Amino acid sequence: MPADLAGALALDPATAELWRGLTPLGRNEFVCWVEDAKKPETRQRRIRRTEEEMHEGKRRPCCWPGCKHRERTGR
């Protein structure tokens, strides 16, 4: 996990608990979404959105096609 994302999650026990409740695939999607950012400000915004979306009950990043490294199978 990226250090900046881990640091943000560690600041709030409730957010850390939500993170632990995600499936490995869900956690990976959020990590990939953060890592995919090209600008530092985008990365920070995505970390903030990760926390917000988890508190909204979302299990994966909203409106993102998914990790580039995962092959699309059409299933």
Is residue 68 included in any domain, yes or no?
A: no
At residue 71, the pLDDT reads 59
Residue pLDDT, tens place only, 3-45: 999 999 999 999 999 999 999 999 999 999 999 999 999 999 9
Number of domains the chain contains: 1
| The dihedral sign for the CA sequence 61, 10, 21, 14 | negative
Joined tokens for residue 53: 């979306």
Which of 38, 40, 2 minimizes the C-alpha distance to 19? 2
Cα 13 from Cα 41, distance rounded (Å): 24
Domain containing 39: what range? Answer: 3-55
- Please state the pTM of the whole predicted model: 0.84
Contact 5, 34 (CB under 8 A): yes
